[in-house]
Each structure stands twice: as C-alpha cells, then as structure tokens.
Chain A
Amino acid sequence: SQQGEEDPQALSIQEGENATMNCSYKTSINNLQWYRQNSGRGLVHLILIRSNEREKHSGRLRVTLDTSKKSSSLLITASRAADTASYFCATDEGGSEKLVFGKGTKLTVNP
C-alpha cells in the first residue's frame, strides 16, 4: 500500500535555489526516512527522523516532521545540478519492519 505521498510530483529549480518537498502519511509511525534515487539506479539513504523528533539536519538537508499533521518536509538548500534525482519518503507502516514508499518527487536542478 502507498502510505507516503509526496508533493510536488515534479520540481524544477535553478542551481543555488532551495528545494522543498513534502510528504504525507496515514498511519502511526516510529520513523520516517528520505531516500534519493538517480535515474535507473538504486536508492541512497539520506536521513531518518524519529517520531519524537521535529527537525533534523544533515549537511544541506533539513527534514521536519509533524506527527499531528502526519507530514514531513525535506529542504535542500543551495541546490546543485548534482542534486537532480527523485526523492522518496518512506515510513515504517504502523511501526513494522516494512518500509512503505511514497510516489516520489522528481527534482531537476538546472545549471
């Protein structure tokens, strides 16, 4: 089942700008993770935020989590052309070991 739903589905920005992607989910979670996928490749884990955390930073990435709204956002600051990829959120559905992925946001950063 698709739990995470990202928006926008596609985002095109200029290098140097910030990119914000949102994710909503439906059930309770223990954690939410963001992954990145370059075209035709596997997924790279970016960041994990636990249900008792509200914000987390990793380099140019900033993730927020609002469990009352069942939503999360991923902010990439000072974007680079190399950030061009699809970004997926994934939740541990009901705290299970399984990850449920959203549909993803395709980010294009133009040089």
Chain B
Amino acid sequence: GAVVSQHPSRVICKSGTSVKIECRSLDFQATTMFWYRQFPKQSLMLMATSNEGSKATYEQGVEKDKFLINHASLTLSTLTVTSAHPEDSSFYICSAREGLFQETQYFGPGTRLLVL
C-alpha cells in the first residue's frame, strides 16, 4: 500500500522558536496533502489542504501566518509552526492523496510537538 512518512516523529522546542515538519509520499505522487492536528484523546481536526504548486487552503480558525504550509513537489509538503507557544503542543498528522479523484487518504505516522 501507499506509504507516507513524517519527520521528525517527535520534537521538543522552546517557546518562540519555529519548527518544520515534513510529510513525504514515498511510493506515489501526491497531488493533494492534508494537515491535521489532534489533541490528546480527541479526533483529528483538519488544518489545511495543500495542492502541489499552489497556496494551501486553510480551515476556518487556523492562522495561515502561524502554520506555514509548502507543497513544493508531488512528494513533499512541509508544515512550519512559527513562533511556537505551549498551546501549539499537539500531535500533527499529514495525509496524502494520489490523484484528484482518489477517495482514500494515506496517513503519516504523526509528529508529536511539545513546546516548553
């Protein structure tokens, strides 16, 4: 099956620093990638949708200047949490979809971010 990787798997950073999370589709080209956030014992909340070569579409309430998304190639999307604060601590998960009409999203293993 399709494989999606994320790096790093966990990161601890100081408040005020920026953190970049990478999401890669390893064996397919992902026209669309999605970024989710998950709080402990809660469901996934979609943050943004990114299509290769275009600007990401953010969900209501998600600050685009805070969570920078870049989808520069068909196999890589990055999420940068800028000026991170403790409330940004969460589990960030990406997913990728192979084609415009593919219904299944393949999820990465997630990145645990802890901001001190």
Residues of B within 8 A of A (CB): 4, 6, 32, 34, 41-46, 49, 91, 93, 95, 97, 100, 103-110, 112
Q: Interface extent on A, as a size class?
A: 20 to 34
Known: A33-B104, A48-B103, A98-B49. A42 touches B93 (CB 8 A): yes
Most chain A Cβ neighbours within 10 Å, of B4, B43, B44, B110: B43
Asked if B108 and A99 make an inter-chain contact with CB atoms under 8 angstroms apart, the answer reads: no
Asked if B46 and A2 make an inter-chain contact with CB atoms under 8 angstroms apart, the answer reads: no
Asked if A42 and B109 make an inter-chain contact with CB atoms under 8 angstroms apart, the answer reads: yes
Which residues on B sit within 8 Å (CB–CB) of A35? Answer: 107
Which residues on B sit within 8 Å (CB–CB) of A101? Answer: 43-45
Known: A88-B43, A103-B42. A97 touches B108 (CB 8 A): no
Inter-chain CA distance A88–B42, complex, in Å, is 10
Most chain A Cβ neighbours within 10 Å, of B45, B46, B103: B103
Distance between B14 CB and nearest chain A CB, rounded to angstroms: 23
Inter-chain CA distance A92–B103, complex, in Å, is 9
Inter-chain CA distance A42–B106, complex, in Å, is 9
- 4 tightest A-B contacts by CB? A43-B107, A42-B109, A42-B107, A101-B43
